[in-house]
Chains A and B, each alone.
Chain A
Amino acid sequence: MVRRAQISLRRLLLIEFLVVAAILASLLYLAVRFVAGQAVDKMQDNLLAASALTIAERLSLIDGEIVVDLPYSALDMLGVSGQERVFYRVHAPDGETVTGYDDLPAAATTIADGKPAFGSHTYRDAEVRVATVRNTVMDRRVPVPIHITVAQTRESLTKLSDYVALSALGVGFGFLMFAGVLGAFAVNRALLPLKHLASSIASRPPEQLEPFDEAAPKEVQPLVNAINRFIAKLKSNLDVTEQFIAEAAHGIRTPMASVRLQAELAEREAHAIGRAETFSRLVRSVDEVTQLTNQLLSNATVRYRSDRGERGAVDLFDLAHLAVNDSRIAAEHRGIDIAIVEEPGANLMALGDELSLLEAVRNVLDNAVKYSPDRSEIALRLADAGVLGLRLSIEDHGPGIPQSDRERVFERFQRGRHSDHILGSGLGLYIVRQVMLSHGGRALISDNRPTGTVVTLELPAKAET
């Protein structure tokens, strides 16, 4: 199967977030650049206009000749603004230069008195800003319009507006970085319910097949719905399978009993003709099939009951007695003594499904009997563990279960190492664990002294007394 490239929602969101932030930062840069340029132009224009007007004030006509008394401040004030080069020109209506730079271009030709006009030119290999004002002097009642043009290079002003814009770019970039951090934070927060959902799915025990009813974000709800539909389908499939197995098991059990009976009868007759071993193998095989069938049936039963969640007060003492009774014949047959040990005066009322719990205890006890040596003792201890609930342990003196097998034996169709010659389906402890899980408890295996196994069932739920 080709592994498809995974799409990261987080990365997608973050990238979109950053793209938006980058666009905003660029817009900020452009806007500031524009505004800074305008402000700098305005600043320079004001200065140039002031300079030109200062010169205009010092114009006079003496004997028909235009006289300019260039004021010191006119050019000196331009020097204050930095290190710019300055140019000026005063010219008469006929275009003749009265004083200043002959070739300096004016801002505009038609302008009103006292109202400066501005322009930008290239003069002497430099970009200059130009202000021109007009001052009309009277020559024997004839108006003579005189133009005064003042120009200044704009190196430091360009630098200034560049600097301002660059600062804005810096701020924009900082904003972008900040947005990135905030964005990562926000995306993480937004994805938190998804994460929550994922961990809630992951932490579910495999048997739990109820639909999710936790609150999920609106956007994730379709996914939750789909998962729920999938769970429902899975559950119904499982149910059908379990039911089939139960029915099959039930269907097999009756004929098997009859086969066993026939085989026993045949064995007895075979004794006479010396073919007993063949038939005893047949009986053993039949026993195995019967055991498996019983266990499958009991598994299915336990499963249904736990799904239905039936709960009631269960007296563990009574339960223990019932279980011991069921195993008595097999135990006595091999000289094994089963003792129930209870804490005097302890409250042993559990909350749970009696049938399932009985099945669990019966399975553990059954194992204990099977693996105990002849003429040994099995103890069934009942204890109140306080806040931890109730505890039922079954101690035998069999071969014990090595540490490495203690988890494995609870799995379906897995058996311990010393079980080769012992009849078993591999379903017993699996059922035990299912029952304990459905009761919110657990089943533990530990060593008995000097040899043997202790299986402890912990039931957290006590019945109200």
Chain B
Amino acid sequence: MKTNSLPGAVVPKPSSSESIAADPVVMLLLCLLFVVPSVFAQFEEVVEFPAPIGRSGAAPVQLIGTADLDALRPVILAFQRRHPGVGLVYTQGSSNVVYGEIAKAGKTAYDLVISSAMDLQVKLVNDGYAQAFRSANTERLPTWAKWRDSVFGFTLEPAIIVYDTRQFPDGDIPNTRFDLIRFLRDSEDKLRNRIATYDPEISGLGYLFASQDSLRTNSYWRLMEVLGGLDVRLSCCSGEMLRLIETGEIAIAYNVLGSYALARKERGSPIGMILPSDYTLTMARSALIPSKAPSPDLAGIFIDFLLSDTGQRVLTREARLNGALRENAESSEMFSGFSGQLAPISFGPGLLVFLDRSKRARFIAEWRDAVRRK
């Protein structure tokens, strides 16, 4: 049950339903298939990385996260090359499961939480479930990438526009939202039902991108209206949207996670990438140490490694998750030739606003209204 997706926050379905379209009938069927097993097996994977140099007595670092094991594996292995005496156990789950595992009273079994759900990570810190950690490497982080010295963003992943290079061989897709709206209106016939974006209702990451977009530009709502007019296909995850492009079912996808697009493009997929030049939203995967972690010191060592030069290099080159530190960002392939404005989503109490249940309901309703009006 491997997954390429980034299960986002507040996903109201089992996180294992990766490869489904937003078709309600298929969803219902899949729910029937998977809900029952997922009750027994809350976590998708539990993988052990024993210490390379045997220290049988020592307890391994208990890591829980949303990240795909394939993405995290090179980082864990690099960590163990540096600290061969430390064993790790990685438990993967959806962001809600991960959140729920930490935000509960009493002891927790986990030493470290790695999640792509920035808002839920901030909520864990705000509600007192995380402890502070400081090191020379955490001090190097930019302001947006940490909050209260308790949550540390260690990647910098842009939300980008991807397109099918077979359909647009010249790559003549506009690179600002304003121009994109005009372009979409002008090519209505060609693009009807061939555009995709996140469904914010089922994807936590999609919701994060949508809410942050709505804060940054008024064009966002017009863009959603135009997409709605073109019968936009709503997707659960970046992986799915990229696959739809590979199969030629859609031509353009908006707000796809850049790290995944780059990985596929490098494997030879016909994928073109555009980082919007008006502003490019970026999100960060983040790490935090639960306040009741059994071995917070080891967790701190792991965080320090993630933010070290070696850790950042492994993240960028091997895990294909762009490192969060600015010097890495600028020199990486992801941002080569990009001269626009990066708009990093910053960790802080502002992220709590869109987690508010009434706010969320209102936002989703408004969003549906915009997308489905025509």
A-side residues, CB < 8 A to B, are 67-72, 74-76, 78-79, 83-87, 98-100, 124-126
Q: How many Å from the CB of A124 to the closest CB on chain B? A: 5
Residues of B114-152 whose CB lies within 8 A of A: 125-128, 147-149
Closest to A78 in B: B349
A-B interface, 8 closest residue pairs, ranked by CB to CB distance from nearest:
A76-B350, A79-B348, A79-B349, A70-B359, A99-B358, A86-B349, A75-B349, A83-B148
A67 to B358 CA separation, bound complex (whole angstroms) = 7
Chain A interface mostly? mixed
Q: Contact at B128–A126, with CB atoms within 8 Å?
A: yes
Q: Contact at A67–B353, with CB atoms within 8 Å?
A: no
Interface membership of chain B positions 351-366, coded 1 if the CB is closer than 8 angstroms to chain A and 0 otherwise:
0111011110010000
A98 to B125 CA separation, bound complex (whole angstroms) = 23
Closest to B150 in A: A83
If A72-B215, A75-B353, A76-B350 are given as contacts, then 15 extra A-B residue pairs at C-beta distance below 8 Å, sorted by A number, are A67-B362, A69-B358, A70-B359, A72-B353, A74-B353, A79-B349, A83-B148, A85-B148, A86-B126, A86-B352, A87-B126, A99-B357, A124-B127, A124-B128, A125-B128
How many B residues have CB within 8 A of the partner chain? Answer: 19
Q: Contact at A75–B362, with CB atoms within 8 Å?
A: no
How many A-B residue contacts, CB cutoff 8 Å? 54
Interface membership of chain B positions 190-222, coded 1 if the CB is closer than 8 angstroms to chain A and 0 otherwise:
000000000000000000000000010000000
Interface membership of chain B positions 339-351, coded 1 if the CB is closer than 8 angstroms to chain A and 0 otherwise:
0000000001110
Q: Contact at A70–B353, with CB atoms within 8 Å?
A: yes
Q: Contact at B358–A85, with CB atoms within 8 Å?
A: no
Q: Contact at B128–A75, with CB atoms within 8 Å?
A: no
Given contacts A83-B147, A124-B127, A126-B128, contact A70 B350 (CB under 8 A): no
Closest to A75 in B: B349
Q: Contact at B359–A76, with CB atoms within 8 Å?
A: no
Residues of B within 8 A of A72 (CB): 215, 350, 353-354
A84 to B348 CA separation, bound complex (whole angstroms) = 9
Q: How many Å from the CB of B317 to the closest CB on chain A? A: 33
Residues of A within 8 A of B125 (CB): 85
Q: Contact at A85–B356, with CB atoms within 8 Å?
A: no
Q: How many Å from the CB of B356 to the closest CB on chain A? A: 5
Q: Contact at B348–A70, with CB atoms within 8 Å?
A: no
Residue contacts A-B, CB under 8 angstroms, 19 given: A67-B358, A69-B362, A70-B359, A72-B215, A74-B353, A75-B349, A75-B352, A75-B353, A76-B350, A76-B353, A78-B349, A79-B348, A83-B148, A85-B127, A98-B358, A99-B356, A99-B357, A99-B358, A124-B128
Residues of B within 8 A of A70 (CB): 353, 356, 358-359
Residues of B within 8 A of A86 (CB): 126, 349, 352
B-side residues, CB < 8 A to A, are 125-128, 147-149, 215, 348-350, 352-354, 356-359, 362
Closest to B350 in A: A76
Q: How many Å from the CB of B200 to the closest CB on chain A? A: 16
Q: How many Å from the CB of B134 to the closest CB on chain A? A: 12
A76 to B147 CA separation, bound complex (whole angstroms) = 13
Residues of A within 8 A of B350 (CB): 72, 75-76, 79
Q: How many Å from the CB of B259 to the closest CB on chain A? A: 26
Q: How many Å from the CB of A388 to the closest CB on chain B? A: 83
Residues of B within 8 A of A79 (CB): 348-350
A76 to B345 CA separation, bound complex (whole angstroms) = 12
Q: How many Å from the CB of B22 to the closest CB on chain A? A: 26
Closest to A87 in B: B126
Closest to B214 in A: A72
Q: How many Å from the CB of B221 to the closest CB on chain A? A: 15
Given contacts A75-B349, A76-B353, A78-B349, contact A68 B128 (CB under 8 A): no
Residues of B within 8 A of A87 (CB): 126
Q: How many Å from the CB of A148 to the closest CB on chain B? A: 12
Closest to A68 in B: B358
Residues of A within 8 A of B149 (CB): 83
A74 to B149 CA separation, bound complex (whole angstroms) = 22
Residues of B within 8 A of A85 (CB): 125-128, 148, 349
Residues of B within 8 A of A69 (CB): 358-359, 362
Residues of B within 8 A of A99 (CB): 356-359
Q: Contact at A68–B359, with CB atoms within 8 Å?
A: yes
Q: Contact at A76–B358, with CB atoms within 8 Å?
A: no
A67 to B357 CA separation, bound complex (whole angstroms) = 11
Q: Contact at B352–A71, with CB atoms within 8 Å?
A: no
Residues of A within 8 A of B128 (CB): 85, 124-126
A87 to B352 CA separation, bound complex (whole angstroms) = 9
Tell which of B148, B348, B354, B358 has the most Cβ of chain A within 10 Å.
B358
Closest to A90 in B: B358
Q: Contact at B349–A100, with CB atoms within 8 Å?
A: no
Q: How many Å from the CB of B11 to the closest CB on chain A? A: 20
Residues of A within 8 A of B147 (CB): 83
Closest to B211 in A: A72
Residues of A within 8 A of B362 (CB): 67, 69
A245 to B356 CA separation, bound complex (whole angstroms) = 117
Q: How many Å from the CB of B146 to the closest CB on chain A? A: 9
A122 to B357 CA separation, bound complex (whole angstroms) = 25
Q: How many Å from the CB of A88 to the closest CB on chain B? A: 8
